[in-house]
Amino acid sequence: MTVQEMVQEIPSLSIEDRKLLISVLVDSIIESAGLKKRDILEFAGIGLELYDGTDAQEYVYKIRSEWDNRP
């Protein structure tokens, strides 16, 4: 079966089978590229030195106001 034939069969798969197919493909790409799956917990504390105590919502308001004042 060619790749094109496989692609044509995708619409006939159930949603769950499509999700499984995506997962298998992504895992295959990650493995063949020598990449490592990362656990979100590995990123705990990253960028902590950038935090200056500013409230998150206040930060968003500040950034958005800067967008409004662009030339």
Note down pLDDT in tens along the chain; length 71 residues: 899 999 999 999 999 999 999 999 998 998 888 887 788 998 888 877 777 888 889 888 988 988 877 76
CA 67 to chain centre: 25
For residue 10, give the nearest of 30, 32, 20 by alpha carbon: 20
pLDDT given for residue 71 in this prediction: 67
The pLDDT assigned to 14 comes to 96
Domain ranges of the chain: 1-71
The predicted pLDDT at position 7 comes to 94
18 neighbors 10 (Cβ within 8 angstroms): yes
Instruction: Write the CA distances from 11 to 1, 14, 24, integer angstroms.
Output: 16, 8, 17
